[in-house]
Structure 1
Amino acid sequence: MNIANKLTILRVFMIPFFLLVLYVVEKPWGNYAAFVVFALASLTDWLDGYLARSRNLVTDFGKFMDPLADKLLVAAALVYFVEAGMLPAWVVILIISREFVISGFRLVAATNGQVIAASNSGKVKTASTMVMILYLLLGLEGSAFYWIGILLVAFATVMTLWSLVEYIWKNIKIFHA
């Protein structure tokens, strides 16, 4: 098993620790600890991709596991936010549903021997979602912080919708193959 795949597995194992500090450690310290764990897990996502590409370590395991690890990490945070009353459920359902749709498209494409690369809007969606999660974990209070949080949630939601529509528009042909 190469270093990129080990980092992906590490990210999966970080998810229970992320949730543990959120649920067990008293606020605000639990949120701060969760912020650090989530930030480190997010960095492993970037690092494993960089190492896999730059050192020619791309594997079928990594192609499958890396996006799954990302989805699990993000879903864990988003579901926690719904339970904590920090995000409306419809936002979380929208973000997670987009991931299922894109994964379905990629699966169909793969069965036809095609690979669908991530789009720029998908990358912006991912980055905006990560920033939103990190910001919400800080639990900043006050009217200015509240509005920044609202704007980050709105931007991540718009980017989720935009990237989904763009993805479907550009790749609908895979169903006609």
Structure 2
Amino acid sequence: MNRQSRLNPPTILTLLRILTIPIVVVLLYVPDDYEISYSRSLVTFALFVAATVTDLFDGYLARRYEMVTALGKLLDPLADKLLVCSAMIMLIPPERVPAWMVAIVVAREIGVTALRGVASTEGLVIAASKLGKAKTLLLNIGVAALILHYPVFGLDAHLVGMGFLIGGIILTAWSGIDYFFRFVGEIFKQ
């Protein structure tokens, strides 16, 4: 495993994903009682999807070509959390996402990040679970569809997005609880 701190292609992809976050936030900003236009929804949807797809490529490149770095390991999960949480927060004012759903996701991400920090100070590594990966997939699809919002090819994007988001919220809670118990199990092994 290459532990260099220099920028490499996977880390650059992660940084590009981070740079898309303020653009997504600005595009989803709704002043007062205005609705996000169809064209702005399409542009934001395309940008969000492109950003989430880079997550697949940066991890693959880093592992396949042995370009895993400490910086990449720090930034990659942070980029994912910031992208999804920022988009969800911005979807509250136009009433595309209920605030309580966003609160569950944000609380879980803060909790898991805190547990990871504590685990690392104890020399523990608690690997990402399949539940967490499934949660990320469902949330990404749900948020993307909710950003799109308007009907596409006869499908109600908002309804589809809420379906995926509800599934993602269930897995958010489940994977957070799972992570906590795996953390506690590792602590008691010591």
TM-score relative to the length of structure 1: 0.91
Matches within 5 A, 1:59-78: 59-78=69-88
Match for residue 177 of structure 2 among 147, 165, 173 = 165
Tell me which residue corresponds to 2:4: none
Match for residue 120 of structure 1 among 130, 141, 148 = 130
* Unmatched runs of 5 consecutive residues or more in structure 1: none
CA offsets 1:1-24 (integer angstroms, 9 cap, x no match): 111111111111111222233348
Identity value in percent: 36
Matches within 5 A, 1:40-51: 40-51=50-61
Instruction: Name the CA distance, whole Å, in 1 between partners of 2:14 and 2:162.
Output: 31
Off by >6 Å, runs of 4+ in structure 1: none
Q: Greater CA deviation, 108-117 or 166-175?
A: 166-175
Tell me which residue corresponds to 1:13: 19
Task: Tell me if 1:149 matches 2:161.
Answer: yes
- Matched residue SS, 2:92: helix
Change in 2 beyond 3 A, CA 1:146/1:30: closer
Tell me which residue corresponds to 2:3: none
* Unmatched runs of 5 consecutive residues or more in structure 2: 1-6
RMSD, aligned CA: 2.1
Instruction: Name the CA distance, whole Å, in 1 between partners of 2:82 and 2:50.
Output: 15
Q: Which has the higher helix share?
A: 1
**Structure 1 position 132, deviation (Å):** 0.3
TM-score relative to the length of structure 2: 0.85
